[in-house]
Amino acid sequence: MDLVQKEHERLWKRVKSSKTINDVQKTIDLLQAARDTISVDPTKAPTTLAKLQNPVKTSFDAINDDLKETYSGLNKYTKALDKLFKDRPLPSIEYDALSSQPDLINRAIVMHLLREGQFSVATTFLSEISNKKLPAQSGNVEPNCNKGAEAFAIDQFQSDGIRDQFTIMYHILHQLREESNLIPAIHWARQNREALESRGSNLEFELCRLQFVWLFRGRKEQKASVSGRQAALEYARSDFQAFVPRYLNEVQQLVGAMAFYPNLDDSPYRAIFNNPSAWKDVAHTFTREFCSLLGLSADSPLYIAATAGAIALPTLLKLQTIMKAKRTEWTSQNELPVEIPLPPSYLFHSIFVCPVSKEQATDQNPPMMMPCGHVIAQESLNRLSKSGKLKCPYCPNESQPRDARKVFL
C-alpha cells in the first residue's frame, strides 16, 4: 500500500507542478497575437506566418515533453496498483450461489436503484432484463417460472407504487437539503402522524423544532432578528400546542431560549440553536422513517450486503489460500469457519451460542428459555428431555419441555 501511496503522491506532485498548462497557454497566445496582427493588416500575413513557424514548433515540443513526463508517472502508478491488487480469483468462484437466483438479484438491483433515486436507470435496467429474457424463454423448459418472477419485479415497480413513493421521498429531501424548506417534510409527517407515533418516532417534533430554529435565526441564518423572533413565536403559538403533552420540556426550552436572544451562543440553549448537523440529522431521520413506513430498512440491503462482502473478502481470500495449502474443505453449511468482524452498524441481531452444545442458534434450532430463565438451544433441550421432563443443566429447576419459550434476539 505504501508504494501506491508514494506513487500517487509523486504523480500528484508532477501533475500539480506541471508546466503543461502554461506551455499550452503560451502557444494559444502566440497564435492569437498572430491572428490579431493579420486581421489589422492583411498584407503582413506571409511574414507573420513565417515568424510563427519556429516558436510554435518549440512550444509544441515543450508540450509533448510535458505529456511524456505525465505518461511515465501514470504508468508507474498503474504498475504499482497492479502489483498491489493482483488479479486473483474471488472465493466461491467454483460455486456461485447467486447464479441460481437471477430474479432475486435483479429485483435487489431494481430496488436499490429506486431507493437511490436513479429512476431512469431502474427503468432501463428493467426493460433490458425483460428484453434479455424474452428470447431465452422460447427455448426454456420452465417459461412460467421466469415470467412469474419477472412479473413480480415489475409489479413491485409499478403497481405497488414504490417508485412513486421514492419520488415523493426525494422531492421532500431535495426541498429539505437544497432549499432549507421543511414544510413538505412536516406535511408528510403530519399525514402519517399515527403510524409514526406508534413507532415511537419523534420525527414531526424534530422537524417542527428545526423550523422554529430556522425562523428564529431569520432568513440570513446569522443573527436572530426581531422579525425572525416574532415569526418563531407565532409559529410556536400556532403549531406547538399538539406537542405539549409529549414534549413539554423541549417546547419550554425553545420558548425559554427567546429570553437569551442577544447572546444565545453563551446560553444553555446553545446546542439546540447552533447544531451544525441538525439538517443532516433530520434528513436522515426522515429517510429512515419514510422507508420504515414502506416496510423497508433505511439503507439499501444491496448496499449493505455488498459492503459487508467487501469487508469480509480479504479474510475469505486468506482462508481460501490456507484451505488450499492444507487441502481441507469448508464443510459447515450455514456457518463461516472464521470470525469476520463487522462494524457495529452491520450487526442486526445478537448471536446466541448454546452453552450445552456450543452451537450457534439458527431458525431451525432457536434459543429456548426454560421457566427458570436459563436459555439453551432447541436441539439441546430435546436431548435433555426425558419422558416429558426437563432438568435444567444450570440449576436444580425441573420443568416440562413444552413450557420452554422461544427467545427472539
Interacting residue ranges for Zn ion, rule: CB under 5 A? 372, 374, 392, 394-395, 397
Pick 255 or 369: Cβ nearer Zn ion: 369
Q: Nearest distance from residue 374's CB to Zn ion, in Å?
A: 3
Residue 129 CA to residue 177 CA, distance in Å, equals 34
**Grid cell digits, residue 257:** 431560549
Pick 128 or 403: Cβ nearer Zn ion: 403
Pick 231 or 372: Cβ nearer Zn ion: 372
Q: Nearest distance from residue 255's CB to Zn ion, in Å?
A: 54
Q: Nearest distance from residue 129's CB to Zn ion, in Å?
A: 54
Q: Are 210 and 282 in contact (CB under 8 A)?
A: yes
Pick 126 or 376: Cβ nearer Zn ion: 376
**One-letter amino acid of 182:** L
Pick 255 or 372: Cβ nearer Zn ion: 372
CA 207, 208, 210, 215: dihedral to nearest 10 degrees? 140
Closest CA to 372 of 348, 392, 352, 346: 392
Residue 350 CA to residue 52 CA, distance in Å, equals 77
Element containing residue 33 per DSSP (H, E): helix 20-40
Residue 253 CA to residue 264 CA, distance in Å, equals 12
Pick 195 or 395: Cβ nearer Zn ion: 395
CA 286, 292, 294, 298: dihedral to nearest 10 degrees? 70
Q: Nearest distance from residue 372's CB to Zn ion, in Å?
A: 3
- For 189, how many CA atoms within 13 A lie in the half-sphere containing its CB? 25
